[in-house]
Amino acid sequence: MSDSPPPSGRPYYGALFAVVVWGASFIATKIALHEVQTMTVVWLRFGIGFLVLAIAVPLRREFFIPKAADLRSFALLGLLGITIHQWLQVGGLETSLASTTAWIITAIPLVTAIVARIVLDDPLHRNHILGILVGALGVLLVVSRGDWHRLADGAFGAPGDLLVGLSTITWSLFSVYSRKALHRHRAAPMTLYVMGSGWLFTSVLWLMKDGPADLAKLSTEGWIAIGFLGVLCSGLAYIYWYDALKALPVAQVSSLLYVEPIVTMFVAAALLNEPVTIAALLGGGVIMVGVKIATWKR
């Protein structure tokens, strides 16, 4: 009798790999930010990620030359999902805890439901509304560190928490607008063009910020963090994730995202000495419950 995994094993483990490295990406980003500015981290990460995809897509025989209209669409998606989104998220990590960022990101399905209602006129059912309210409560608990008096005084945690919160909106918009394009194109080559466009837009901002001078500031540890972000998080993880989405039910793959903030919390505690607080665990649990309620199907 064979001990080999069932046919669904390989894409499932690939998706799990993606979630684990994405969870660790917040820590790698914090390490890199100790040495260089936000745009340098984004520019290097997605430049490396683009190179990985540029090699992988032709090897997988998925390369295609898009029409002009598609190319414009990919460019706008790159501007939104790479340049703007990553500027908000990486900039937020300058002052936000890595673990707090990961818990806030977990609320993206709730934000996406609201964005889809506004942009696509998708219906919001009672379970969506209840899930959004429960998830919002969890986010407030995470960013307040359990200190509700700070929220009553108008304080939204660290300044970076607000930027990370805004990044959930940009990613939700990116996801909604990507939906139609994914019906017409394979995910990996589309991601290649979207990432390449976003990297080009980022290059303009990077040059304006005197980014080339940053490169000499990176230590060996900094380059390892950048390499991890580029090769694993922005290159291989995207390929494995989309392969899993093609082979397995979306609900089964998406459920793995619950692992991401847990990975972040414990890796951040080990490498960055970030505290594992009861408020963060409780708030994260409440967010997960909210997402589960909102995505529950009869």
Looking at the predicted structure, is the pLDDT value of residue 167 above 80?
A: yes
Region 188-201: mean pLDDT is 93
pLDDT digits (tens, 9 = 90+) for 228-271: 999 999 999 888 888 887 777 766 676 677 788 888 888 888 88
Closest among 76, 49, 13 to 238, alpha carbons compared:
49
Give phi and psi for 145, each to the nearest 5: 55, 25
Buried b (16+ CB within 10 A) or exposed e, 155-185: eebbebbbbbbbbbbbbbbbbbbbeebeeeb
pLDDT in tens, 123-150: 777 877 887 788 777 777 777 766 656 5
Rounded Cα distance between 107 and 96, Å, is 16
Q: Is the pTM of this model over 0.75?
A: yes
Four-CA torsion 234, 262, 101, 235, nearest 10 degrees: 0
pLDDT digits (tens, 9 = 90+) for 8-39: 578 888 888 988 999 899 999 999 999 999 99
- CA–CA separation, 51 and 174 (whole Å): 22
Which is more confident, 296 or 223? 223
Token representation of residue 215: 């490169």
